[in-house]
Structure 1
Amino acid sequence: MTDFGDLGGIDMDRLLHSVDQQIARAEELEKAMAKLVGRAEDEDHLVLVEYAQEGLRTLEIRPKGMRLSAAELSEKIKAAVQDAVADLHRLSGELMAEMFGAASPMRMIEDSTAMLKQVKRAEASYDRAFEDVMGEMDRIRRDLDL
Structure 2
Amino acid sequence: MQEFGDFANIDIDKLLRDAGEQLVRMEQLQKDLDSYVGRGQDENGLVVVECSQLGVEELHLHPKAMRMASVELAGLIKAAVNEAARDLQKQMEEGLSAAFGDSENNPMKFVNDPDAALKQIKAAEAAYNRTHEDVMGELNRIRQQLQL
> What runs of 5+ residues in structure 1 fail to find an aligned partner?
none
Deviation at 1:55, TM superposition (A): 2.1
Report the count of equivalent residues: 142
Give per-residue Cα distances to partners, 1:104-124, cap 9 Å, x unaligned: 101122122322222222122
Report the Cα distance in structure 1 between the residues aligned to 2:79 and 2:25, rounded to whole angstroms: 34
Report the Cα distance in structure 2 between the residues aligned to 1:19 and 1:140, rounded to whole angstroms: 34
Determine which of 120, 124, 127 is the counterpart of 1:125.
127
TM-score by length of 1: 0.83
Between 1:62-71 and 1:12-21, the stretch displaced more is 12-21
| Residue in 1 that maps onto 2:41 | 41
Secondary structure of the residue aligned to 1:60 is strand
Q: Write the letter of the residue equivalent to 1:59.
A: L
Deviation at 1:23, TM superposition (A): 3.2
Report the Cα distance in structure 1 between the residues aligned to 2:101 and 2:19, rounded to whole angstroms: 17
> Which runs of structure 1 show a deviation greater than 3 angstroms over 4 or more consecutive aligned residues?
8-23
Report the Cα distance in structure 2 between the residues aligned to 1:98 and 1:141, rounded to whole angstroms: 50
Matches within 5 A, 1:56-135: 56-102=56-102, 103-135=105-137
Between 1:98-107 and 1:9-18, the stretch displaced more is 9-18
Give per-residue Cα distances to partners, 1:16-52, cap 9 Å, x unaligned: 5544444333222111111111000112221011111
Between 1:58-67 and 1:116-125, the stretch displaced more is 116-125
Secondary structure of the residue aligned to 2:101 is helix
CA 31–24 in structure 1, closer or farther in 2 if over 3 Å, else same: same
Percent identity, please: 45
Report the Cα distance in structure 1 between the residues aligned to 2:54 and 2:112, rounded to whole angstroms: 23
Higher helix share: 1
Secondary structure of the residue aligned to 1:123 is helix
CA 17–133 in structure 1, closer or farther in 2 if over 3 Å, else same: farther
Report the Cα distance in structure 1 between the residues aligned to 2:78 and 2:66, rounded to whole angstroms: 15
The question of whether the paired residues in 1 share the 8 Å contact of 2:48 and 2:60 is answered with yes
RMSD: 2.2
Between 1:70-79 and 1:46-55, the stretch displaced more is 70-79
The question of whether the paired residues in 1 share the 8 Å contact of 2:48 and 2:59 is answered with yes
Report the Cα distance in structure 2 between the residues aligned to 1:69 and 1:129, rounded to whole angstroms: 65
CA 11–144 in structure 1, closer or farther in 2 if over 3 Å, else same: farther
